[in-house]
């Protein structure tokens, strides 16, 4: 069977961007009519309605941006639109799971060496792996920030609407980017570059940790191809933009007809759980950000005090005391560096962990909403079928054999749709259950690992403090 990686073979396969609120079924014509214009404009600063990448996302037939890859060993079944593909069944899902068992997860990615090329930065991305998925063991490629965003937008459009939690890419930061573009070589722009580098690394690692996403051809191409196709190398939608679109669609769904009759308490319980978690994590994140800020202040103030103490030592006319004060100044200077390092650990370990999870939970909420949408679609088909059946009944008595036949044909088609709708709903429910339990497992692992690392950084700081003060104590005692 067909393994071409044509993702958007039909507009109907992109319900993620099907935000029609006025009709009950998927639209067959252009997805970007008047209603949706605003959403797109909101999603990104740069993309206009006529820009090329829109076409990339929407085009019928094989998209030039997504090149087919013949995988080396295993047959990879891509996640493609389910409207026409009967490979999208339980069995294909299980196939992938079997493959997972074969190759243990062993891949490490590092993002480094940011370099400025023209107007933007390239990051060097190095992957080391022993997985059979890849052609080589060690390889590196250059990627622009927009490439990362492009990867996310592709993954989101392929997987979000069928219930997969796609990790969000790092945010664009206008302020930070402007500074960097202008070529300001100061500490804050260096910090910005490092922040971004670290965020991109975490993003990629999270993406490849996902067993389905790892095997996605776009991901493989992103990691391996020495050059990504031109069309992708333009400014892309931000992750936030995509999620906003997805969530806005979901909001539209919610405001619509009946609230879904939740037959499965698990979903309700989980949704509540994520709401609570979201609120708690945001609160904690805010406190940690405050700590980072105050620790940086402490570092600056300690440095200033150190300088002042040195001056005081200089002016002190008792020799031994003068010496001790200079030593105190030196200790405080070392301590200010310690505070600076600790503030970095506070940020890169603790704060960014929390920030990442706040964003991830937005994606989780998104898939729950997608399930609602799927249910709604199924219900809509059912209602339509009902109407058609009523129409058929009426037509039985009107002498219009052509119309009757047409209606019978439409009914047949709708029955198919209803069945598909039910299958889709069951499938997305099943997927979400799997995804959520995977997500929770990863969450536990992540938090444990990173918080332990963070505590180790605190240990190091205290050990250094002890060293410094132990060295100073005899100096103080030597004053006579």
Partner 1 sequence: MMQEGLDDGPDFLSEEDRGPRAVNVDLEMDATLQVDISDALSERDKVKFTVHTKSTLPNFKQNEFSVVRQHEEFIWLHDSFVENEDYAGYIIPPAPPRPDFDASREKLQKLGEGEGSMTKEEFTKMKQELEAEYLAIFKKTVAMHEVFLCRVAAHPVLRKDLNFHVFLEYNQDLSVRGKNKKEKLEDFFKNVVKSADGVLVAGVKDVDDFFEHEKTFLLEYHNRVKDSSAKCDRMIRSHKNAADDMNRIASSLYMLGTQDSTDLCKFFLKVSELFEKTRKIEARVAADEDLKLADLLKYYLRESQAAKDLLYRRSRSLVDYENANKALDKARAKNRDVLQAENNQQLCCHKFEKISESAKQELVDFKTRRVAAFRKNLVELAELELKHAKGNLQLLQSCLGVLKGNT
Q: What is the binding site for partner 1 (CB under 8 A)?
A: 273, 276-277, 280-281, 283-284, 287-288, 290-291, 294-295, 297-298, 301-302, 304-305, 308-309, 311-312, 314-318, 320-321, 324-325, 328, 440, 443-444, 447-448, 451-452, 455-456, 458-459, 462-463, 465-466, 469-470, 472-473, 476-477, 479-480
CB-wise, 238 or 327, nearer to partner 1? 327
The token pair at 436 is: 């959520």
CB-wise, 8 or 327, nearer to partner 1? 327
CB of 223 to partner 1, least distance (A): 30
Neighbours of 60 (CB within 10 A): 10
Token pair 């980072």 is found at 292
Which DSSP helix (H) or strand (E) runs through 129? Answer: strand 120-129
Ramachandran angles phi, psi of 184, nearest 5°: -75, 115
CB of 442 to partner 1, least distance (A): 11
User: Given CA atoms 212, 217, 220, 222 in this order, what sign does their dihedral have?
Assistant: negative
Residues near 277 by Cβ (< 8 Å), separated by ≥ 6?
Answer: 361
CB of 127 to partner 1, least distance (A): 27
Distances (CA, A) of 207 to 14, 55, 368, 380, 392: 21, 25, 19, 34, 50
Distances (CA, A) of 25 to 262, 300, 382, 428: 22, 60, 11, 18
CB of 366 to partner 1, least distance (A): 21
CB of 422 to partner 1, least distance (A): 30
CB-wise, 116 or 318, nearer to partner 1? 318
CB-wise, 49 or 320, nearer to partner 1? 320
CB-wise, 136 or 463, nearer to partner 1? 463
Distance, CA of 474 to CA of 480 (rounded, Å): 12
Distance, CA of 200 to CA of 196 (rounded, Å): 6
CB-wise, 336 or 380, nearer to partner 1? 336
The token pair at 431 is: 């997927």
* Residue 246 burial (C-beta neighbours within 10 Å; 0-12, 13-18, 19+): buried
Distances (CA, A) of 7 to 68, 94, 154, 359, 425: 10, 21, 9, 26, 21
CB of 471 to partner 1, least distance (A): 9
Which DSSP helix (H) or strand (E) runs through 394? Answer: helix 352-397
Residue positions counted in the chain: 480
CB of 266 to partner 1, least distance (A): 12
The number of angstroms, rounded, from the C-alpha of 32 to the middle of its chain's C-alpha atoms is 24
CB-wise, 6 or 288, nearer to partner 1? 288
CB of 256 to partner 1, least distance (A): 31
Distance, CA of 19 to CA of 42 (rounded, Å): 14
CB of 296 to partner 1, least distance (A): 9
CB-wise, 430 or 448, nearer to partner 1? 448
CB of 340 to partner 1, least distance (A): 13
Q: What is the largest CA-CA distance in the chain?
A: 120
Distances (CA, A) of 259 to 27, 198, 269: 23, 41, 16
CB-wise, 411 or 450, nearer to partner 1? 450
Q: Are 17 and 57 in contact (CB under 8 A)?
A: yes
CB of 301 to partner 1, least distance (A): 4
The terminus-to-terminus CA distance of the chain in angstroms comes to 91
CB-wise, 145 or 439, nearer to partner 1? 439
The token pair at 197 is: 């580098």
CB-wise, 357 or 378, nearer to partner 1? 357
Which is it for strands 107-117 and 120-129: parallel, antiparallel or unpaired? Answer: antiparallel
């Amino acid at each position: 069977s067909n393994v071409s990686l044509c993702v958007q073979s039909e507009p109907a396969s992109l319900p993620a961007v099907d935000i029609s609120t006025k009709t009950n079924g998927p639209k067959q014509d252009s997805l970007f009519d008047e209603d949706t214009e605003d959403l797109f404009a909101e999603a990104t600063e740069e993309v206009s309605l006529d820009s090329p990448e829109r076409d990339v996302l929407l085009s019928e037939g094989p998209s030039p941006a997504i090149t087919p890859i013949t995988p080396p060993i295993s047959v990879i079944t891509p996640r493609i639109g389910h409207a026409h593909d009967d490979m999208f069944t339980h069995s294909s899902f299980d196939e992938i799971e079997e493959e997972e068992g074969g190759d243990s997860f062993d891949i490490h990615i590092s993002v480094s060496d940011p370099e400025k090329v023209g107007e933007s930065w390239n990051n060097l991305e190095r992957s080391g792996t022993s997985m059979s998925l890849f052609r080589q063991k060690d390889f590196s490629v250059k990627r622009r920030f927009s490439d990362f965003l492009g990867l996310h937008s592709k993954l989101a459009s392929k997987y979000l609407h069928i219930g997969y939690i796609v990790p969000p890419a790092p945010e664009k930061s206008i302020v930070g980017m402007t500074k960097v573009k202008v070529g300001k070589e100061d500490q804050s722009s260096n910090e910005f570059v490092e922040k971004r580098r670290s965020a991109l690394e975490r993003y990629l690692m999270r993406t490849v940790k996902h067993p389905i996403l790892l095997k996605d051809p776009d991901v493989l191409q992103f990691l391996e191809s020495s050059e990504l196709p031109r069309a992708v190398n333009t400014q892309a939608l931000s992750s936030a933009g995509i999620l906003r679109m997805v969530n806005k669609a979901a909001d539209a769904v919610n405001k619509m007809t009946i609230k879904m009759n939740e037959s499965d308490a698990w979903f309700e319980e989980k949704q509540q759980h994520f709401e609570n978690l979201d609120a708690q994590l945001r609160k904690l994140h805010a406190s940690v950000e405050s700590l980072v800020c105050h620790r940086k202040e402490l570092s600056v103030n300690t440095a200033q005090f150190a300088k002042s103490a040195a001056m005081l030592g200089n002016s002190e006319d008792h020799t031994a005391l003068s010496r001790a004060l200079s030593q105190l100044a030196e200790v405080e200077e070392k301590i200010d560096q310690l505070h600076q390092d600790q503030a970095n650990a506070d940020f890169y370990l603790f704060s960014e962990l929390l920030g990442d999870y706040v964003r991830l939970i937005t994606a989780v909420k998104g898939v729950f909403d997608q399930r609602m949408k799927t249910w709604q679609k199924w219900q809509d088909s059912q209602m339509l079928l009902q109407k058609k059946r009523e129409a058929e009944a009426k037509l039985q008595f009107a002498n219009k054999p052509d119309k009757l036949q047409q209606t019978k044909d439409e009914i047949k088609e709708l029955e198919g749709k209803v069945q598909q709708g039910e299958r889709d709903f069951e499938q997305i429910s099943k997927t979400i259950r799997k995804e959520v339990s995977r997500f929770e497992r990863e969450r536990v692992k992540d938090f444990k690992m990173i918080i332990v690392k963070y505590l180790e950084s605190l240990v190091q700081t205290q050990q250094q403090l002890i060293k410094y003060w132990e060295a100073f104590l005899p100096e103080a005692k030597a004053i006579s």
